[in-house]
Structure 1
Amino acid sequence: MHELSIAGSVVEICAQQAQGARVRRVTLEIGQLSAVMPEAIRFCFDVCAKDTVVEGATLDIVVMPGAARCLACGATLALDVPFGQCACGSENLELISGQQLKIRQMEVV
């Protein structure tokens, strides 16, 4: 379960950035194509935050949709999986969204 490692890293980064202040809320952006399960992150986040300045913080997760650009015709298309076929028939796609995993925002008190 790589989500445990990811949640641990998120907690560690937030704790460092908080510089001793209590973290109230963390907003995490997870791409739909990132192979990261939001509910697993949510569970692991609480476990990893125990006994840190992040303990008790609300975790907001924003799932970012997958998208690609067709390298043959330049069209942009939505993707649910990290591969696909453009309406022009090309499978030569460049992923442009949906793989990200980042801390968008952190609220401290």
Structure 2
Amino acid sequence: MDCSTEEEECDEDEDDVEVDEERLEPRSDDEDTNFEESEDELRDEVSDSMRNLLTTQEQEQEQELEEQTAQETQQEVNRRSEEVREETQPPAHDESGKNTAVN
């Protein structure tokens, strides 16, 4: 559009443009990004995360070991109970009702 011939329209178009004055002002130092601080914070967060991961893995391994030990202990108890049961069973009788054990 040629503003020299249609001055009134050009003036109208300029009024339609909104300008955000705050965006054009420079930021203060407080608002600047401190990349060194951000890097340190990120490093700390990664370090904490790794510590938590290792702790969780150690706890899971301990729990698995405890479960395995408990299972092995239960199997040993069952085996020994069966041995005791076999040792304490009364002698078998034959069909006539007499004791088959020799005196």
Larger-gyration structure (1/2): 2
Relative contact order: is structure 1 or structure 2 higher (C-alpha 8 Å, sep ≥ 6)? 1
Structure that is richer in strand per residue: 1
Structure that is richer in helix per residue: 2
Could you state the TM-score of these two structures normalised by the residue count of structure 2? 0.19
